[in-house]
Structure 1
C-alpha cells in the first residue's frame, strides 16, 4: 500500500512541476470581473452578461453569472468596454464605459430592475427554467416546479432528462445502468434497494435541483459508468431566523401524507440550519409472471400473480452548523439520518401445469416482511480561503453507519385442482440483521497558477465494512429449527485510496481541462459459513479531458472523454438467497468483478438554448442482471454476471422554448443504441442490441397568481442484456397558487393521469423463458401546502461532504 501511495504522489509531482514552471512564464492579461444584483442587493444567478466594445457597441463575448451573481472576462485587448446584463423578467442593464490596460479591473456592481409587465392581466416575473443545460451538466430546477409538490425524491428523479427507473428501482441514465447518486455532492454509499428507500423518504419539497453529469471530471470519484446524478437539497439562504413548513397528502389506491420543516438561524459568525421530514406511504404493486421450464422430456408452465402492499413510515433529519472563525476560514458540521419502518405484505398464487394455462397443482404463498432502517451520517468540514487569487483548501471527514434489520415469514400452502392438499404447509422464517460502517477523509486544494491557468488536486481515503447475517429457520414438528441450507453470514471489507489532479487553461475562445485520477482498491469478501473468501487488490488510473470552443456568439462546441469504474454493489456481492416463493428468488454473486467504461461526448450549443450531444461508451466486464433456471427444482432465480462488452451510442437533444410571454416549454429527447456481447452466457453466445428512445415535453403556463405545468413522457421498447422491455408512457399535470404576499403556496398535482405506466419485460434465452408485467401504484393525486416564515438577507454556505460515492452502493429498502 505504501508503494502505491508513493507512486500516486510521484505522479502528481510530475504533473504539477511543468504546470508551475509554465505559470511562472505566463504574463497577466487584461480582464474584467463584476457582479449583478437585484433591487434587494441579492445576487442575480445565471443571468446573461455580454461584453460590448465601447466605440461601436459590437459584441466581443458573452458569459453567464454563477450562483453568487459573479462574472469574469479574461484575455482582453486593452481598450474601452461596456457590460450589458440581461435575464428573463428584468430590464436590460449597462455598466459605465470601462477602460482597461494590461490589468484585471473590477466593474461596479450592476443593479437590475425587475420588469413586471401586464399582458391582458398576466404578470411576468423572473424564474429559472425547469431544465437548464450547463457546460458539464444538465440541471432540473425542482424548487419551484409544480410537479414536485407531494412527490418524493425517487418519483421526481424519474422525470429528470435521460433518467429511467425499472421495476426493481435500478436507476439508468441514457439506457445505461451504473449511475452514481450523490446528495449535496456527497456519495450515498447505498445499494439500489437502500437508496430507493432513502429517496422515497425524501420529500420533494426539500429538493432544490437535480444535476445530471454524464461525463464527470477527475475531481469526482471514478465510480459510475453512466455518470453522476447529484440531488441538491434546499438550504435556507437567509439571515435571522426563517424557514418553511410544508405539509401534504395524496391518494391513489392508498393514502399517503408528508410533512417537512426547513429552518435557518444566522447570528454573527454562526449559522445553524436543519431539515426534518416525516411521512407515511402505502404502495401497492401487482406482479404477474409466466414461465416455461424445460427439464429433459418434461415441460412445466408456471403462471404466477402476486399482490404486494408496502406501508412505509419514515422520519428523516439533517441538521448542521457553520462558524466563520475568520474572514477566510469556515468550520462546519452536518449530522443526518433516517428512521424508517416498512412492512411488505405479499400474497402470491402460482399455477403449475403440463399444458399452457393448464393447472395440475397450485400454491399460495403469504409473506410478511418487516424491515427497519436506522441510519446516521456525520460530516466535519473546514474551508480555508488562502488568498484573494482563488487559492483554497477544503477538508472533509465523514462517518456513516447503516443498521438494517429484516424479519420475514413465508407460509406456502399446496393444493390440487380439487382443493385437496398433497403435502403439508411449508413454514419458513428469516432474520437478517445487516450493518454497514463507512469512514472517509478527503482534502481538495485549488491553486490559480495564473489568470488563465488553474490547478486542482486532492486525495481521498475510504474504508467500508458490511456485515450481513442471514438466520434462516424452517418449521418441523411444530417447532422452528435452523435451516442449514440457507443460513449464512457474509462480511465484506473494502478500502480505496485515491488522488487526482486537474489542470484548466482558458484561452480567448477555448477552455481546456485535463485530469488524472488514481485509485487503489483492496477488498475481501468472506462467506463465513462456507469458508469462501474472495480477495482482490488493484490500482487503476482514470484520465479525463474536456475542451470547449466558442465558435461565435451563438455557436459553442465541446468534446470530452473520461474513464470510469463500477465496483459491485454490496448486495450484489452477497450470495444470500431472498425468496418471493420457492420457485422465484434472487441472490448475489461474490465473484462479480468491477466493470470499466471509456466514454466520449461531442456537444453543440446554439444560442445557449438548443443543446445537442452525441456520445459513445464501451464497458468491459459489464455487470448485468441475468435469470437462471434450476431445471431440477423448476425454479427461476435472478443474479448478476459479467459480460465481455457493452457498447452504447447515444444522442440527446434538449431545448427550452417560448410560445408566448405566459407559455414556455422544454423538450428533451434521448436516442440510444446499446449492444451486449458475451462468448458464453448461460452456455451460449450473446449478441443482443436495439435502438431505443425516450422523450419528455414539459409545458408551463403562468397566469395571474397561478402556475400550471403539464408533462408528457414516452419510452420506446428496448433491449437490455437478455431482456426485452416494451414501451410505456404517462402524462402528469399540476397547478400552484401563491397568496398572502407569496408566503403561502398551495399545489395540486396528479401523476400518471391515465394510469398507463407499467413495466412489461420478457426473455427467451437459453433455457429461460419468461414474461413479466408489473403495475405499480402510479396514478396519485396530491395536495401540498407550504408556508414560508422569517426574514431574508444573507446566504448561508452550501457544502458537500466526501462520503457520497461509498454511500451510493449501500441498499436501502423499498
Structure 2
C-alpha cells in the first residue's frame, strides 16, 4: 500500500511538471516526417512496412509500421531529400516521389502513397474465431451475444436477464449484483428512462441486432455520475466490411401466444464513406398471472382480507429504424451522423377479480375490474459527431450534438362492478377513462479531449450540457350514474411539467508505471430543476456536486493482477416519481408521487483479482445516503405505492467469474455472486426500520460443439433476498438452444427454448410497517423460438475496423406513463 501511495504521489508530481513544461517556451522540435498509405479504394492500410530512404543513394534511414489509420511517423529527421518505400502482403510495393525536409522545418508531410493489389492473388482463407460468451476486461465484463444461440429471437430485455449479475424484478426494475439504480446505455448513449419506458424500449430491440452487453460496475469520471450500481452498455452491431453487405433475420416463437420478429441490416463502405442502416419489426404477446393476498388492519384493530387475482396479457408491436454515415475527410478527421427512432404500440387487457371478507375464503363482497390500456410510443433522435485526431501521439478531440423527441400516449378504460355476498350487484358500476399524452424533448452537447502528455501520462477532459423538458398531461373522466356521460374528474386530472438542466465537466489523469497504472478523475455536475404540478407551487432545486474516482491496477506477475477502484455516484428521482398527484388503478389500489423526493448519493469501492486473464474475483462495498426506495403502504382499507428516501442502504458483494474448457468441444462460464443488502430509516411511515439479508446468485453457461452444431445450456439461480420492505422468494430456470450454419456460414438456423421447465417466477411479500401482503406472479417465460439468418454481400476480410466519431450520448429522459 505504501508503494501505491508513492506511485500516486509521483503521478501527480510528474503531471504537474509536464503541464508546466507544456506552457513554458520551448525550442523548435526536431523534424517529424509523417504520411498515409491507402489502397485502390482509398482505404487506409494498417501494419504496412514503411522505409525512409535517402533520395541520393536509396540508403535506408529509418523504418516504421503504419497504424490502424494507415499513418506512419518518422522522428528526428535531418534536413535533406528523401523518398518513401512501402510494402504489405497482398499489395505491390510502392515508392514515393522525392521530397525535401528543410533545415528549419518542424514537421513535413510526405506524398501520399496508393498501393495496388498484388498481381498474384492468394486463395481465400477462412479464419474462424469465436469470442467466449462471457469475457472479462480490466474495467468491465462483456457478454458477447452476437453468436450466442440464446440471443436468437430474443429481445434485448430477455437477453439482459441472462447477463452476469443482472436481475429484472416484477416491475422491470434492473438490478446489478443485487443493487438497483443501474444506468442503461445503448451504443454508449445514455438512456435514462423510467422502468416502464425502458422495458418498452428493450422489448422493442431485436436481439439479432445486438453485438454485446458491457457491464461496468464502477465507471470513471468520463461517464455521467448517474447510477449507483454501475452502467450496462448494450452495443449494437455495425458492419465494417468493404463493399455492400448485410443480413436478413426472420424468427417466430411460441409461449402462451405466438410471437414474430424480423430485421434487415445493410452496410455500404467505399473509400472514405461508410453508410449503414437497420430496420426491425416484431409482434410480442405475453401472459402475466398475478395473485395478491393482503390483510388490512384499521385503527380499531379490525382486519379486512383481500384475495385478488389478475390475468394481465399484453401485446407489443414495434418498428425500429436506424440510419447513419461516417465520412473520413482525412485519415485523421471523421464526421458522421445517426438518425434513429421507433414507432411502437401496445395493448394491455387486464381482468381482476377481488374477494373481500373477514377471512380468506369467506366473501362479504367482491368486485370485478376489467381494463383496456392502449399505448403508442414514438421517438426521433438525431446525432451529429465530429472526431479529429490532432496528431499521431493519440491527441484527439470529439464533439457531439444530440436532439431527441419522445411522444407517448396512453388511453385507458377501467370498468368495475361491485357485488354483494350472494353475487347480486351492489351498486352502480365505477367506470373510468384516462388519456395521458406525454411529450419529452432533449438537447445535449458534449466535447471530449484526450492528450498523451508523455509516453506514460495521459490527460482526458470534457464538458457536457443537457436540457430536458417533459410534459405529462393526465386527463381523467368518470361516468355519471344519471346521465351515463363521461365527465371530467377533477380529483384525478392533473398536468405535470418538469424542466431540468445539467452542466458537467470532468478531468481524468492516467499514469502508467512499470507494473502499476493509476487513474484519478473528478467530475462536477450542476443541476437546476423545476417540477410544476399545475395549480400548485412549483418545486425548484439547484445543487452542485463533485464526483471523484480512483483506479489503481497492479500487475503482480504474468498470471496475477489486482485492481482497486472508487467512485461517487448520484441518482436523481424520476419525473413520474416527483409528480405528487394520485393515479388510481382500481378503487382499492393507487400510486402517488413525492414532490420532495431527494437525490441519492452512493460511495462505491471495489477490489478485483484476476488470474491468468480469465478467472476474476471481486469484492465490493457501497453505502447510499437518502436511498430512493419503492414502498407499498396502507391508508385505511386502501393500498398505495410511492417512493421515499430511506436513511441509508448498505451493500457488500463478492463475485467470482471464470470461463472453463473441458475439451475442444465443451466449454462454458460460471458466474457466482454473494451479496448483502441492508436498509435503515428512523422515520419510515412514523417508525424505525432496519432490515437486511445475505443472498446468492449463480449462473452457468455450457457450450457444446459437434459436427458444425452448437448447443448451449444456461442455468440460473437466485436465492431469497431482502430489498427495502420486500422479501423476494428464490427464482431459478434453465434455458437451452441449438444452432447450425449452412452455405459456407451464410445461412444460419437457431432453435431455443427459454425456461424449459416453466419454473421461473417472481414472488414476494411484505410484513413490516403495517403491511401484510403476499404476491405470487408468473410471467410467460417458457418460449420456444426458431430463427433464420441470411448474410449476403461482400464478406472479405476487412483491413481495419472503422470507428465512428464521438461516443453517442442521449440525455436523461424520465417521463411518466
Q: Tell me by how many angstroms 1:22 deviates.
A: 6.9
Contact 1:446–1:457 under 8 Å retained in 2: yes
Contact 1:432–1:470 under 8 Å retained in 2: yes
TM-score, length-scaled by structure 2: 0.84
> For residues 295-334 of structure 1, what are the structure 2 equivalents within 5 Å?
295-297=298-300, 298-334=302-338
Match of 2:20 in 1: 21
> How far apart, in 1, do the equivalents of 2:414 and 2:755 lie?
33
Contact 2:458–2:511 under 8 Å retained in 1: yes
Q: Tell me by how many angstroms 1:68 deviates.
A: 10
Residues 21 and 615 (structure 1 numbering): CA distance in 2 closer, same or farther, change over 3 Å? same
> For residues 776-791 of structure 1, what are the structure 2 equivalents within 5 Å?
776-791=779-794
Would you say 1:365 and 2:369 are equivalent positions? yes
Match of 2:660 in 1: 657
> How far apart, in 2, do the equivalents of 1:565 and 1:439 lie?
21
Would you say 1:542 and 2:547 are equivalent positions? yes
> For residues 30-45 of structure 1, what are the structure 2 equivalents within 5 Å?
none
Q: Tell me by how many angstroms 1:797 deviates.
A: 2.5
Q: Tell me by how many angstroms 1:18 deviates.
A: 5.2
Match of 1:89 in 2: none
Q: Give the root-mean-square deviation of aligned CA atoms.
A: 2.4
Per-residue deviation, residues 350-398 of structure 1 (Å, max 9, x unmatched): 1000123221000000100000001111100000010000000000000
Q: Tell me by how many angstroms 1:306 deviates.
A: 0.3
In the alignment, which of 608, 624, 632 is matched to residue 627 of structure 1?
632
In the alignment, which of 205, 209, 219 is matched to residue 206 of structure 1?
209
Contact 2:749–2:787 under 8 Å retained in 1: yes
Q: Tell me by how many angstroms 1:309 deviates.
A: 1.0
Contact 1:398–1:801 under 8 Å retained in 2: no
In the alignment, which of 693, 710, 718 is matched to residue 690 of structure 1?
693
In the alignment, which of 403, 410, 427 is matched to residue 407 of structure 2?
403
Bigger RCO of structures 1 and 2 (CA < 8 A, at least 6 apart): 1
> For residues 163-182 of structure 1, what are the structure 2 equivalents within 5 Å?
163-182=166-185
Q: Tell me by how many angstroms 1:268 deviates.
A: 2.2
> How far apart, in 2, do the equivalents of 1:582 and 1:185 lie?
43
Match of 1:533 in 2: 538
Contact 1:621–1:644 under 8 Å retained in 2: yes
> For residues 246-395 of structure 1, what are the structure 2 equivalents within 5 Å?
246-297=249-300, 298-395=302-399
> How far apart, in 2, do the equivalents of 1:502 and 1:208 lie?
28
Residues 801 and 431 (structure 1 numbering): CA distance in 2 closer, same or farther, change over 3 Å? farther
Look up the SS of the partner of 2:330 in the other structure: coil
Q: Tell me by how many angstroms 1:424 deviates.
A: 0.5
Per-residue deviation, residues 453-487 of structure 1 (Å, max 9, x unmatched): 00000000000000000000101121111101000
Q: Tell me by how many angstroms 1:190 deviates.
A: 1.7
Contact 1:289–1:773 under 8 Å retained in 2: yes
Contact 1:23–1:450 under 8 Å retained in 2: no
Contact 1:239–1:796 under 8 Å retained in 2: no
> How far apart, in 2, do the equivalents of 1:295 and 1:68 lie?
73
Q: Say how many residue pairs are matched.
A: 712
Match of 2:521 in 1: 515
Match of 1:567 in 2: 572
Q: Tell me by how many angstroms 1:23 deviates.
A: 7.5
Q: Tell me by how many angstroms 1:192 deviates.
A: 1.2
Per-residue deviation, residues 538-560 of structure 1 (Å, max 9, x unmatched): 00000000000000111001001
Q: Tell me by how many angstroms 1:608 deviates.
A: 0.9
Per-residue deviation, residues 309-367 of structure 1 (Å, max 9, x unmatched): 11111100111111111221111000111101101100000100012322100000010
Q: Tell me by how many angstroms 1:805 deviates.
A: 5.1
> How far apart, in 2, do the equivalents of 1:371 and 1:577 lie?
20
Q: Tell me by how many angstroms 1:19 deviates.
A: 5.1
Gaps of 5+ in 2: 1-11, 30-42, 47-66, 72-121
Q: Tell me by how many angstroms 1:756 deviates.
A: 0.6
Say which is worse superposed, 787-796 or 559-568, in terms of deviation.
787-796
Q: Tell me by how many angstroms 1:267 deviates.
A: 1.9
Look up the SS of the partner of 1:205 in the other structure: helix
> How far apart, in 1, do the equivalents of 2:148 and 2:508 lie?
35
Would you say 1:551 and 2:545 are equivalent positions? no
Per-residue deviation, residues 591-615 of structure 1 (Å, max 9, x unmatched): 1110000000000001111100000
Contact 2:431–2:478 under 8 Å retained in 1: yes
Match of 2:751 in 1: 748
Q: Tell me by how many angstroms 1:725 deviates.
A: 0.4
Q: Tell me by how many angstroms 1:577 deviates.
A: 3.2
Would you say 1:705 and 2:681 are equivalent positions? no
Match of 1:96 in 2: none
Per-residue deviation, residues 621-641 of structure 1 (Å, max 9, x unmatched): 00010011111xx11111110
Gaps of 5+ in 1: 1-12, 29-41, 46-65, 71-112, 117-122
> How far apart, in 1, do the equivalents of 2:685 and 2:556 lie?
51
> For residues 791-802 of structure 1, what are the structure 2 equivalents within 5 Å?
791-793=794-796, 794=798, 795-798=801-804, 801-802=807-808
> For residues 128-147 of structure 1, what are the structure 2 equivalents within 5 Å?
128-147=131-150
Look up the SS of the partner of 2:150 in the other structure: helix
TM-score, length-scaled by structure 1: 0.85
> How far apart, in 1, do the equivalents of 2:590 and 2:340 lie?
34
Contact 2:70–2:331 under 8 Å retained in 1: no
Match of 1:499 in 2: 505
Contact 1:381–1:394 under 8 Å retained in 2: yes
> How far apart, in 1, do the equivalents of 2:418 and 2:489 lie?
20
Match of 1:3 in 2: none
> How far apart, in 2, do the equivalents of 1:417 and 1:304 lie?
16
> How far apart, in 2, do the equivalents of 1:313 and 1:578 lie?
26
Contact 1:178–1:224 under 8 Å retained in 2: yes
Per-residue deviation, residues 281-330 of structure 1 (Å, max 9, x unmatched): 10110111111111123211001100001111110011111111122111
Look up the SS of the partner of 1:154 in the other structure: helix
Look up the SS of the partner of 1:199 in the other structure: helix
In the alignment, which of 494, 503, 508 is matched to residue 488 of structure 1?
494
